[in-house]
């Protein structure tokens, strides 16, 4: 008898897929391919592996592509109703689960889990169900399905009910909340999330700390992890791609423009650079980083006119008011530092808010110091990328709350992200490191930060699931 199952042997499920569509003025569709670790990983297994990527239609162009039956080989895009997706993605994933795992709530006022929350949670369930059903339909018998991230925590359990023959994995790209903070969630929701995840054969986390936090939540709330295996895979930077891309012509052009903005010190020498590249995500701690830089200039006047803070803060999630407010505060603080300390020939903070990857790489190359000070971060690839690309080597000022701290802490200047004075002192220490030691540290950071590049990171999980 013919199997009623699909043909895909390896399936990946994520909110965002490897391709997006825009409707051109003439009505035709323009497809844009994305990058990232999953794209590298799937390409590494080869075109004959029977791989399929299940993702959500995110834009009007994506939805139009689904309606017209336009698609890329190896991609199935789900046209989840726009209102359901909005409630699941912004209402739950980004406004509740992200906030819990990054411990971002102002608890005197939030969270508020009321009737409106329950309606949004129902959308989150529908959204996860759509993925589970698509994976069940497309997977060949005994196939491997790896589900990605906090958007899809319920999928493993739902998929297990539909297709017990599959080997199911889930990977969390965020931190995992400690038990007491996770218990902010209503008891039934917290249990539903954990049991949804435990539908997987194997769960992957970026660091041992996040894996242990998940295990502790399971032990406290659902009696343990059962037969589910837990693994740690510290996603690294793609050294080969970064080194090649950072020496292309557009990056050289951006470097020249940045050098002009940075200028030269009064003695004619090169100014030192403190570089940060982030989305204006609440957890990235950009405002406290700027306040630490202000304190450096106030308390260490010898650095005035001799250093520039190159800060790229690319707007993120601007459809949420709290993110718009945060982006505005980043601008305000940067402008106030420039007004307080700037001179005719020196702009203390060079702030850019328009996303430009070539310019980010140019800043990486120019970095003497890289500032990565999140209040909490699953990994933070910028911490791993800058040392790979920096021309003269850089000193990494790194938050102990970044996942990258586990691998890079030994060769970094480590900070408590809430301690502005401590961070100012760390910046002074980092700026004072000599060129030779800076280059040596950078070399060790680059080696540690590229130990598990994206393709190997994905293949390692795949092999662990198949084993």
pLDDT at 1: 34
- Mean pLDDT of all residues in 61-65: 93
* Per-residue pLDDT tens over the stretch 126-172: 999 999 999 999 999 999 999 999 999 999 999 999 999 999 999 99
Q: What percent of the chain has pLDDT over 90?
A: 84
* Nearest by Cα to 384 from 376, 394, 392: 394
Flag whether the pTM goes above 0.85.
Answer: yes
Q: Is the pLDDT of residue 240 over 60?
A: yes
- Mean pLDDT of all residues in 334-362: 95
| Residue reference for tokens 């070539």 | 358
Q: Out of 21-35, 237-251, 276-290, 352-366, which region has the weakest mean confidence (pLDDT)? A: 21-35
Q: Is the pLDDT of residue 309 over 60?
A: yes
Domain boundaries, the chain: 8-81+124-235+456-466, 239-449
Q: Out of 228-237, 351-360, 416-425, which region has the weakest mean confidence (pLDDT)? A: 351-360
Architecture of 8-81+124-235+456-466 per CATH? Answer: 3-Layer(aba) Sandwich (3.40)
CATH of the domain spanning 239-449, picked from 3.90.1200.10, 1.10.760.10, 3.40.50.2000, 3.40.50.12160:
3.40.50.2000
pLDDT at 35: 67
Q: Out of 19-33, 180-194, 298-312, which region has the weakest mean confidence (pLDDT)? A: 19-33
**Residue 2 pLDDT level (bands cut at 50, 70, 90):** very low
pLDDT, averaged across the chain: 94
- Mean pLDDT of all residues in 414-432: 98
């Amino acid at each position: 008898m013919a199997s009623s199952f699909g043909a895909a042997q390896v399936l990946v499920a994520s909110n965002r897929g490897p391709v997006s569509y825009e409707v051109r003025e003439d009505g035709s569709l323009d497809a844009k391919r994305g990058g990232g670790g999953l794209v590298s990983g799937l390409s590494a297994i080869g075109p004959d592996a029977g791989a399929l990527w299940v993702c959500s239609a995110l834009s009007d162009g994506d939805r139009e592509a689904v309606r017209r039956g336009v698609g890329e080989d190896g991609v199935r895009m789900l046209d989840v109703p726009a209102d359901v997706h909005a409630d699941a993605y912004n209402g739950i994933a980004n406004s509740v689960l992200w906030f819990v795992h990054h411990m971002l709530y102002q608890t005197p006022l939030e969270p508020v889990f009321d009737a409106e929350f329950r309606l949004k949670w129902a959308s989150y369930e529908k959204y996860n169900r759509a993925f589970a059903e698509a994976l069940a339909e497309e997977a060949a018998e005994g196939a491997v399905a790896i589900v990605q991230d906090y958007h899809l925590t319920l999928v493993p359990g739902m998929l297990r009910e539909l297709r017990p023959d599959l080997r199911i994995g889930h990977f969390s790209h965020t931190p995992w909340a400690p038990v007491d903070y996770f218990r902010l969630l209503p008891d039934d929701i917290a249990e539903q999330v954990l049991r949804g995840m435990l539908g997987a054969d194997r769960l992957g986390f970026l660091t041992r700390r996040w894996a242990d936090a998940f295990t502790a939540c399971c032990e406290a709330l659902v009696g343990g992890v059962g037969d589910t295996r837990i693994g740690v895979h510290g996603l690294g930077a793609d050294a080969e791609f970064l080194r090649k891309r950072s020496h292309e012509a557009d990056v050289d052009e951006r470097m020249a423009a940045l050098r002009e903005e940075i200028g030269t010190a009064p003695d004619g020498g090169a100014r030192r650079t403190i570089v940060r590249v982030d989305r204006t995500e609440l957890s990235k701690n950009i405002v406290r980083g700027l306040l630490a830089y202000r304190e450096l200039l106030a308390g260490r006047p010898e650095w005035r006119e001799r250093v520039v803070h190159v800060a790229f803060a690319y707007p993120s999630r601007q459809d949420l008011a709290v993110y718009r407010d945060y982006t505005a505060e980043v601008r305000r603080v940067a402008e106030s530092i420039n007004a307080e300390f700037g001179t005719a020939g020196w702009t203390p903070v060079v702030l850019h808010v328009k996303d430009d990857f070539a310019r980010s790489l140019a800043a990486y190359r120019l970095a003497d110091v890289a500032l990565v000070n999140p209040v909490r971060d699953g990994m933070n690839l910028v911490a791993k990328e800058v040392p790979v690309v920096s021309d003269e080597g850089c000193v990494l000022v790194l938050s102990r709350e970044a996942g990258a701290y586990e691998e890079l802490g030994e060769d970094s200047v480590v900070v408590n992200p809430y301690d502005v004075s401590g961070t100012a002192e760390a910046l002074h220490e980092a700026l004072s490191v000599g060129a030779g030691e800076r280059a040596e540290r950078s070399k060790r950071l680059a080696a540690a930060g590229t130990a598990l590049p994206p393709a190997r990171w994905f293949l390692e999980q795949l092999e662990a699931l198949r084993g």
